[in-house]
């Protein structure tokens, strides 16, 4: 039986290759994901290890609030004297390492991009300096700077050039006296680094008399652990000591969280491709097993057992899976740098030194490739054993019975219902973890609709096929009839495309709703004429910009806004907004439940207005008190003076006065400045003056009006959407292989029929048209079902978000475009099978059995 399986594979090389390619793409994504994330993880680890080489202990501020920016809180420089006085300390040096310093290119634009931070750092003693200077030297004067080699190359800077750097003070020009690398590594994980003297970096970051970190070397005979213990005993509770190894591991763990999110997201897309591939494999084996019914029945009559038949089909599947695993793993090694290049094109620079192919990745690739293929082939393999040999020897034997059709319909209805309910329970939090149950529910819905879709093929083929029949005559009619001849086959083929397009449609609908909801919430909350933000849209900007733009002629009010984090009412790292109560009433309003704009303008140091939903969860109402623990270690007490509805979570849990900004670690930076212009002011002239001001003094700041801000939000959403589409495209490509495979097998099955219609006068061009139209009909069935499911999923997922201001927005144009793409995809998928069908020799086809 093994030889029978091998001969069957070798005799049908094209089918074997097409089936393998579907699995190859899925395995490629999984293995590529692990290779990429393992490589990034190792590259970051090498950077952190080299950075902490020679450091036995690190002293930093004790973290009381886990913030998103991972910026170290500064502490008094007096701590250095206490560290140097601890027994067992041979050397210690303090430094600044700030995330709010940007290097500007020769056009005055910040260097870097999304996900690639820019840092400012101070020079440190040679024994703690992990940097090398292949060109030039360290900065020795306050008007000198050193930048990393990658940034210098990207911007075209050379030693001796003037480089402008922006921080929390006005942008300043420095002489470039050196280019730095980390050992032999030119890149710091895509980040840009500017190195200054200690006095200058303190001025640039407004950290006079402070350090972010102190590096410590132990005296001979003192272990890092012992040194850390002594430091903890001698230093105040506001700071903590870690061994150099612990600090390195902490940095690795911080990056590990990001890598874990990246890995999970990419594995979800990989799972989608594998899910689609499973449909293709199942469909292919279902067709081939049905076509070989007489062959298997003949084997049964000469003594082969049912187990041997199943073993034959499973062996074929295992062989295909093994081939696909090998090819998929090799393709994954190439796929990892391709994905990294995609991130790089989106200005998301990640370190990628070499490629890490772990044993776990290899084992997983083979387990997925072989396991998926074998599992997908089991049902067709078992189905053939239920056909009596005598029945199977008759031409046109059917594998399914009316009873099996009824069971299939019942199972399909049940799966669809259960899947929809699981998604709803997961969305509303009734089942935990919600994400898992949403995924399980979606998979059940896909299976249910796929099982139910044979009943829908007839009416849907009529819907999408009638126009072809009307305008293309006989070719269109034959194509429609061929599509409905075997509804199960057409449905299974369309189901693979349905999955991919359902997810694409869902993402498009959800992204459209998200973008419009955020823009609507912003328009409703913000009354300002102009909004000043960082060029990247989310990083801090200098607090000094507020006073500068307030002096521009035509500006009536410049109101700063700070977004901070604090531990409040049991929440760790909750979000909040700090406003200038003297000016906020002119530029912002809230959707009040209790209170009004006068309450917002009248907030005192211990007053706050809260999001009503957050207050309801925490049992807080007007007049109640709550405490907030800030990143500086201080605990603030607030009294609730009002409640508002924040549907887009624009202001966080509560809004308070910015007189406490220093307590939140935000005295010298903010996120937005909202500007209100004087009545009758020339908006164009005022905007021009502001543009000139920020370009000269604050080049990391970008003014936007409301329309531009909305366009910026849409652009950010669309950029993320582009990545999602690129990853989902692989699932769609896999489904196209399914159409090609099904058409190829169908042509093999209809060889005599094709020979007959050629014999009665049909031209080769008409044959090609029939195959193309059949592919288009199949693709459109999948696209229509996918679009309907995409809308259904968007409706389900948007329900709990409706209270947060999410408004479902269906991009009709995008969905129509997807249907057009499905037509194009069907035409492309049919090229090979159509050419093969048209080239069949008429006499050979008529004699074919």
pLDDT of amino acid 294: 63
Q: How many distinct helices (H) and strands (E) make up the chain?
A: 25, 26
Q: Give the tens place of pLDDT for each residue, 413-467.
A: 888 888 888 888 887 777 777 777 888 888 888 888 877 877 777 787 777 777 7
Cα separation of the two ends of the chain: 23
Give the ranges where 651-705 is alpha helix by DSSP (H).
Answer: 683-697
DSSP output for 183-202: TTB--BTTBEEEEE-HHHHH
Q: What is the pTM of this model?
A: 0.75
Which element (helix H / strand E) includes 673? strand 672-677
pLDDT of amino acid 136: 94
C-alpha distances in Å from residue 452, one per residue of 179, 280, 287, 416: 65, 17, 18, 9
pLDDT of amino acid 14: 60
Q: Residue 836's closest CA among 733, 760, 748, 752?
A: 748
pLDDT of amino acid 346: 58
CA–CA gap between residue 375 and residue 369 (Å, rounded) = 10
CA–CA gap between residue 32 and residue 352 (Å, rounded) = 13
Contact criterion met (CB below 8 Å) for 825 and 736? yes
- Residues of the chain whose pLDDT is less than 70? 1-19, 67-71, 112-116, 183-190, 289-300, 302-304, 342-353, 384-406, 408, 745, 748-752, 802-805, 841-849
CA–CA gap between residue 819 and residue 227 (Å, rounded) = 67
Q: Give the tens place of pLDDT for each residue, 202-230.
A: 999 999 999 999 999 999 999 999 999 99
CA angle, residues 200, 203, 208, in degrees to nearest 5? 110
Query: For residue 240, what are the β-bridge partners?
Result: 60
Helix, strand or coil, per DSSP, at residue 784: helix
Q: Read off the DSSP letter of residue 394.
A: S
Question: Count of alpha carbons within 13 Å of 67, Cβ hemisphere only?
Answer: 22
pLDDT of amino acid 439: 81
CA–CA gap between residue 397 and residue 623 (Å, rounded) = 79
pLDDT of amino acid 392: 47
CA–CA gap between residue 193 and residue 606 (Å, rounded) = 39
């Amino acid at each position: 039986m093994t030889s029978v399986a091998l001969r069957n594979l070798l005799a049908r090389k094209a089918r074997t290759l097409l089936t393998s390619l579907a699995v190859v793409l899925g395995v490629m994504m999984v293995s590529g994901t692990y290779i990429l994330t393992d490589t990034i993880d190792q590259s970051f680890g090498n950077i952190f290890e080299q950075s902490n080489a020679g450091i036995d202990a690190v002293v930093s501020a004790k973290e009381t609030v886990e913030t998103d920016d991972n910026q170290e809180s500064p502490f008094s420089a007096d701590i250095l004297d206490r560290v140097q006085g601890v027994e067992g300390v041979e050397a210690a040096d303090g430094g600044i390492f700030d995330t709010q310093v940007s290097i500007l290119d020769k056009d005055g634009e910040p260097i870097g991009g999304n996900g690639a931070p820019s840092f400012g750092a101070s020079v440190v003693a040679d024994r703690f300096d992990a940097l090398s200077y292949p060109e030039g030297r360290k900065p020795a004067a306050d008007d000198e700077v050193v930048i990393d080699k990658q940034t210098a190359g990207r911007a075209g800077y050379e030693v001796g050039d003037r480089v402008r750097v922006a921080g929390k003070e006005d942008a300043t020009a420095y002489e470039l006296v050196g280019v730095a690398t980390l050992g032999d590594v030119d890149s710091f994980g895509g980040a840009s680094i500017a190195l200054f003297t200690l006095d200058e970096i303190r001025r640039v970051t407004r950290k006079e008399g402070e350090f972010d970190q102190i590096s410590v070397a132990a005296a001979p005979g003192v272990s890092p652990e012992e040194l850390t213990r002594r430091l903890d005993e001698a230093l105040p509770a506001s700071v903590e000591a870690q061994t150099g190894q612990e600090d390195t591991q902490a940095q690795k763990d911080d990056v590990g969280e990001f890598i874990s999110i990246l890995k999970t997201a990419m594995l979800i897309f990989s799972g989608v491709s594998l899910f689609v591939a499973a449909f293709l494999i199942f469909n292919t084996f279902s067709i081939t097993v049905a076509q070989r019914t007489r062959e298997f029945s003949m084997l049964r009559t000469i003594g082969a057992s049912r187990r041997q038949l199943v073993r034959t089909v499973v062996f074929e599947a295992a062989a295909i899976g093994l081939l696909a695993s090998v090819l998929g793993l090799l393709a994954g090694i190439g796929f990892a740098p391709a994905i990294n290049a995609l991130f790089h094109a989106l200005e998301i620079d990640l370190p990628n030194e070499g490629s890490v192919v772990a044993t776990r990745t290899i084992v997983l690739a083979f387990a997925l490739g072989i396991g998926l293929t074998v599992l997908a082939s089991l049902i067709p393999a078992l189905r053939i054993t239920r056909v009596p040999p005598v029945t199977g020897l008759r031409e046109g034997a059917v594998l399914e019975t009316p009873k099996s059709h009824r069971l299939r319909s019942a199972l399909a209805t049940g799966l669809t219902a259960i899947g929809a309910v699981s998604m709803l329970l997961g969305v509303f939090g009734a089942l935990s973890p919600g994400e898992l149950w949403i995924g399980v529910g979606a998979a059940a819905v896909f299976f249910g609709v796929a099982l139910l879709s044979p009943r829908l093929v007839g009416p849907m083929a009529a819907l999408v096929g009638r126009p072809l029949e009307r305008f293309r005559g006989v070719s269109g009619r034959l194509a429609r009839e061929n599509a409905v001849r075997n509804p199960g086959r057409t449905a299974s083929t369309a189901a693979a495309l349905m999955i991919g397009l359902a997810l694409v449609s869902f993402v498009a609908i959800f992204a459209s709703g998200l973008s419009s909801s955020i823009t609507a919430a912003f328009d409703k909350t913000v009354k300002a004429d102009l909004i000043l933000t960082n060029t990247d849209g989310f990083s801090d900007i200098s607090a000094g910009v507020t006073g500068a733009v307030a002096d521009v002629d035509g500006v009536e009010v410049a109101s700063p806004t700070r977004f901070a984090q604090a531990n409040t009412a049991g929440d760790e790292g909750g979000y909040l907004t700090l406003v200038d109560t003297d000016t906020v009433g002119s530029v912002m309003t809230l959707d009040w439940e209790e209170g009004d704009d006068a309450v917002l303008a009248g907030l005192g140091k211990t007053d706050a207005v809260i999001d009503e939903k957050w207050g309801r969860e925490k049992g807080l109402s007007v007049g109640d008190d709550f405490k907030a623990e800030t990143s500086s270690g201080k605990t603030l007490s607030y009294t609730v003076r009002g409640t508002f509805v924040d549907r887009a979570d624009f202001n966080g849990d509560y809004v308070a006065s910015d007189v406490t900004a220093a307590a939140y670690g935000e005295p010298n930076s903010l996120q937005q400045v909202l500007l209100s212009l004087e009545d009758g002011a020339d908006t164009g002239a005022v905007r021009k003056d502001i543009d000139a001001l920020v370009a000269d003094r604050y080049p990391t700041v970008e003014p936007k009006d409301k329309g531009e801000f909305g366009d910026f939000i849409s652009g950010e959403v669309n950029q993320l959407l582009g990545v999602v589409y690129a990853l989902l495209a692989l699932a769609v490509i896999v489904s196209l292989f399914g159409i090609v495979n099904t058409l190829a097998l169908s042509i093999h099955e209809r060889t005599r029929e094709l020979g007959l219609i050629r014999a009665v006068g049909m031209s080769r061009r008409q044959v090609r048209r029939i195959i193309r139209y059949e592919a288009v009909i199949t693709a459109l069935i999948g696209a229509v079902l996918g679009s309907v499911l995409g809308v259904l999923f968007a409706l389900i997922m948007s329900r709990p978000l409706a209270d947060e201001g999410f408004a479902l927005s269906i991009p009709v144009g995008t969905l129509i475009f997807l249907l057009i793409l499905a037509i194009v995809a069907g035409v492309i998928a049919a090229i090979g099978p159509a050419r093969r069908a048209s080239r069949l020799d008429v006499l050979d086809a008529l004699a074919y059995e």
